[in-house]
Structure 1
């Protein structure tokens, strides 16, 4: 009798332990917003699939989108727990959209061959088809239906969602959002497409780039709302006159425009998924706002925006998930220069720039939230800068000793240099909060150390110039899994011994 009790006890412990083995580090719930990365491969030094997956795990990147079903990458992602959206290139769309047999074969070769070891969660059918190759519009929905049917035959249609990414230009009159509508010449495709998404619980995939909105509307759309910067005054908010909803950034307005466009066609149950967004870090002479500083600001603010789960003015209860564009710079892409400079990292895994983020549970572990400075913007008139400088050194109580005559940062003796030093002093004193680097819109956060010669800025004096090493615990998931497997083997051995007693 004692032996049986021991066996039952050990068996109970074994079941509890093996359950925890597979649930301890489960991904976030499907309804929680997440940040993923698009992975383009037009880079001369693109890493091996194994190195890529190791890097994704190191950076705690849990979602990726592939533009094509690369066999090496899909195989390397097996057992990584990274969730994958697999893309179908536009040049394969016609074959799949006109043949159910081809669609079934595609699912067999590019999904079933890897699933479930590789966690495939979606299929993105083509890319911006209706605006780049509209002649193939009639086969887009049939392709999605054939693929869905192939998944349904394997009982996977509720797990792997089928959708197609759209360009933002598909939505007309986006500002104010309440007036937005889809290009009506495409209604013959959009109506059945939205019907399919509604029936299957799939998201509306849209590529939203505030960068392009700003570039096309300079002088009308403020840079700070395009960069998702905290506004210095409520008066700078964009107000939709039809709904009286207040918008503090361009991206939220674009997302709500998509919701309103769907509502205008009587669809209110489809979620928006931002499949691409980002900001280029370098551009040619016609792209003056494609800079590393602006890329840092946009992407840092975007990441915080998603993690804060504030939703949008129209749907504060729903924060859309976002795929950042993109993981690596693609140096093989053609002009303009910005096309090759959307990446967060180079192909050798070194960062293109350092983000200004915190409270993201280790997301992008090799970047730092500490090495940031506040400096005066270029092109601001001297009178405005002088007013901001006087406030920083006066009521703002910044330490402006370093820019007094005879001190190390007095030279060059000009307003912009002195203002940058004073702004950074105030910014560091206030704990590097975004709102403390504004000064009525004449200052900006940068990851570039503005120190020069013997002039050391307050940010460096506080230790910001020392870059922390890559988070050594970023591989803890693999370590924990190994430890749990060891525990599993020990408990199994204990169970066998107990039965044999």
Structure 2
């Protein structure tokens, strides 16, 4: 009789258990793709770190990759909720690969020191080390192992993954993807690399550049194929071995890498694209480096990643990608195109239209700023400036002598900056843009040079003048989308809650 009751009760709750297990599975195993951005620092007139972070927030960028562990940027990213990938420079790889204590010191200084104020989720060890410094392979693997060991000691290994970005050059002939393999001369490094990624549940970091693939192809592939533009069925590239159709070079490069990984008998190692972009300007012989092509590629890349699908051979494995890059690194050596990959000017303005980034904003939202009115009484402006920087609590450090917003040195400029800083901070608490009639709201971005004004969304239009309505851009799918989070504490809390609920239900069966 007892066995019958248990069986009946189990069937009664079986559906409930299935629902709970489905929820657990969805929370822990479903990955929503994201688009992040790289931040290089070989930039003339690089804005202060605080301004860079303000731009990230304004453009709703949720994930960034730093090429090193820049202390100023890391401090500015504190409490921003932006997920951060920090980098070990190529110069540091040899040092860390020789000394476990050096690797532990690096973790303590550049990772553990900032957690939990900064959501550091990954360490990129070097950049394309296997193709730029081939003899450093053994040191690269040891550096990764030493860094991971230090993370384990600091109890951070579940939150922070360790990997190393590679270029497509480590793969031999990448088409058709099904025949792609790693360069066998690198296998003595790549095999232990894949073993490490598999053991630590990390991911393969890949830099994907269809721009270079198209240039090297010498017209074999159509430009639209490289730009991720839709291709008609009769123009799609077909892998003769798998019969999979490829509509763009980005997916083909991903699959070539997945097949290369499988050729060494590894599976379930996801790929994260650590760099991808298109130059917007180049030299006389770089005719495809144009703003038009850069605009098309970057917008199509964002759309491609955020649709949540994988490449043809891994359709259920979403790909995350970091756009290369936030600012153009004009101080880098090489051809003209190397210096022109950024999506923003250093004053925060977009270099080209980012329509797909803006499309997630709904309604009539626009970015507004609070500035001094034209023709306002200078005496009243000075009084308003004094109040904003004093009792109003505005941060006026940027308009001090020698700072980024000091020039032009006049009361209108200084009052505009102070008014805007006050308004952006206090509007949610009843603060207004009035200052005895000397201030007004505008959609025109008053930023200039390296002086960046922070704006905010204004859904109703309100008191604005001048300039066209500017959509608030975003590199995220929207405010209601869920992103992949590496916060082990949050996952643990959710798991324990659901597990407790399951155990509580199970007690009814007894």
Is TM (by shorter chain) over 0.5?
yes
- CA shift, 1:28, in A, is 12
Matches within 5 A, 1:235-274: 235-274=234-273
- Corresponding residue of 2:116: 116
Whole-angstrom CA distance in 1 between matches of 2:40 and 2:474 = 27
- CA shift, 1:312, in A, is 1.1
Whole-angstrom CA distance in 2 between matches of 1:275 and 1:336 = 22
- Corresponding residue of 2:314: 315
CA 1:138–1:295 in structure 2 vs 1: closer, same or farther (change >3 Å)? same
Deviates more, 1:352-361 or 1:287-296: 352-361
C-alpha RMSD over aligned residues: 2.3
Classify the secondary structure of the residue corresponding to 2:278. coil
- Corresponding residue of 1:158: 158
C-alpha contact 2:59 2:474 (8 A) present in aligned 1: no
Matches within 5 A, 1:425-444: none
C-alpha contact 2:83 2:120 (8 A) present in aligned 1: yes
- CA shift, 1:467, in A, is 4.8
- CA shift, 1:218, in A, is 2.4
- CA shift, 1:362, in A, is 4.4
- CA shift, 1:33, in A, is 0.8
Give the aligned length.
350
Whole-angstrom CA distance in 2 between matches of 1:310 and 1:149 = 33
Classify the secondary structure of the residue corresponding to 1:286. coil
Classify the secondary structure of the residue corresponding to 1:357. helix
- CA shift, 1:29, in A, is 9.0
C-alpha contact 1:35 1:306 (8 A) present in aligned 2: yes
Whole-angstrom CA distance in 2 between matches of 1:115 and 1:215 = 42
C-alpha contact 2:59 2:473 (8 A) present in aligned 1: no
- CA shift, 1:64, in A, is 0.3
Whole-angstrom CA distance in 2 between matches of 1:323 and 1:179 = 27
Query: Which string of whole-angstrom CA distances, capped at 9 and with x for unpartnered residues, describes residues 406-461 of structure 1?
Result: xxxxxxxxxxxxxxxxxxxxxxxxxxxxxxxxxxxxxxxxxxxxxxxxxxxxxxxx
- Corresponding residue of 2:470: 469
- Corresponding residue of 2:413: none
Whole-angstrom CA distance in 2 between matches of 1:96 and 1:196 = 16
C-alpha contact 2:39 2:326 (8 A) present in aligned 1: yes
Whole-angstrom CA distance in 2 between matches of 1:119 and 1:266 = 33
CA 1:234–1:470 in structure 2 vs 1: closer, same or farther (change >3 Å)? closer
C-alpha contact 1:162 1:202 (8 A) present in aligned 2: yes
Matches within 5 A, 1:410-429: none
TM-score (norm 2): 0.66
TM-score (norm 1): 0.67
CA 1:249–1:331 in structure 2 vs 1: closer, same or farther (change >3 Å)? same
- Corresponding residue of 2:508: none
Matches within 5 A, 1:275-354: 275-354=274-353
C-alpha contact 1:307 1:360 (8 A) present in aligned 2: no
Whole-angstrom CA distance in 2 between matches of 1:84 and 1:358 = 20
Whole-angstrom CA distance in 2 between matches of 1:296 and 1:242 = 34
C-alpha contact 1:277 1:322 (8 A) present in aligned 2: yes
Whole-angstrom CA distance in 1 between matches of 2:366 and 2:342 = 15
Whole-angstrom CA distance in 1 between matches of 2:30 and 2:114 = 21
Where structure 2 has 5 or more consecutive residues not aligned to the other structure, the ranges are 1-26, 368-466, 480-510
- Corresponding residue of 2:171: 171
- CA shift, 1:335, in A, is 3.1
- CA shift, 1:319, in A, is 1.7
- Corresponding residue of 1:213: 213
Alignment of 1:74 with 2:84, yes or no, is no
C-alpha contact 1:282 1:338 (8 A) present in aligned 2: yes
Whole-angstrom CA distance in 2 between matches of 1:29 and 1:53 = 30
- CA shift, 1:468, in A, is 2.8
CA 1:345–1:30 in structure 2 vs 1: closer, same or farther (change >3 Å)? farther
